[in-house]
Structure 1
């Protein structure tokens, strides 16, 4: 098992994994082949930009050239404050492991790598909005369940 940052060569696998994640967790919508084609264009553009950026970090767990798990991290820059060095915080999203590889400790190895990486880079904290099903996973990996944030929906 290799844990590494995603590269351009991984884009097709990452697109398919995002599609599979959405289909698996969306019980109310049926997707058409045309939906997949539109999605591929949008997702490819996002991934090309993300991989080339200095604010997105896509971590993957790879086994025999197949990506079996991934976690996306976006760095959020904070407004500086007088009297201290300001470090960004990390927003964790799109945490997914392929069904056949779940409950084997792969996600925990991936998140442990990210936790060490963020500690070494002195990021202030990592924030994630877990699904109800994933709260125990994050707790087992050192995360604290905090109160819900406030939201505003402009539409």
Structure 2
């Protein structure tokens, strides 16, 4: 089942974010104190996100267990004369539980999001893929764009 996340999903989403971080940064040494601090910060973020019109957290679930999720943040653009200004979507925190990978679940989730973005008439979706996920996005209709620039304030 694919749907938008609700408040009842927050505990699972917190755990999945923690697991995602551990999986992709195995050298990090976190302890129980780190987990408790993280739970507070992440719960606050998720409560605000789920109740906003800026964030959309799409999930795939099986028997009440979230097995995959994709977070979308809408970015509002400054209006320009002569055209209708529509927001674009920033995709982040794409994660599938390891036992469910390579079974098409995440692609189904992404297809749902692509259709949703088209129906809502968002201008485009942007994602910064890891090297390992480039083919996943390609097979789902995504293409590379010019590299963005960034600035890190010190």
| TM-score, normalised relative to structure 1 | 0.98
Q: Give aligned pairs, total.
A: 154
Question: RMSD between aligned alpha carbons?
Answer: 0.6
| 1: CA distance, partners of 2:115 / 2:66 | 21
Note the 1:4-153 alignment, pairs <5 A.
4-153=3-152
The alpha carbon displacement at 1:7 in A equals 0.1
Moved more, 85-94 or 140-149: 140-149
List runs of 5+ in structure 2 lacking aligned partners.
none
List runs of 5+ in structure 1 lacking aligned partners.
none
| 1: CA distance, partners of 2:133 / 2:53 | 28
Q: Extract structure 1 runs of 4+ deviating beyond 2 A.
A: none
The alpha carbon displacement at 1:143 in A equals 0.2
| 2: CA distance, partners of 1:91 / 1:147 | 15
The alpha carbon displacement at 1:31 in A equals 0.8
| 1: CA distance, partners of 2:5 / 2:96 | 15
| TM-score, normalised relative to structure 2 | 0.99
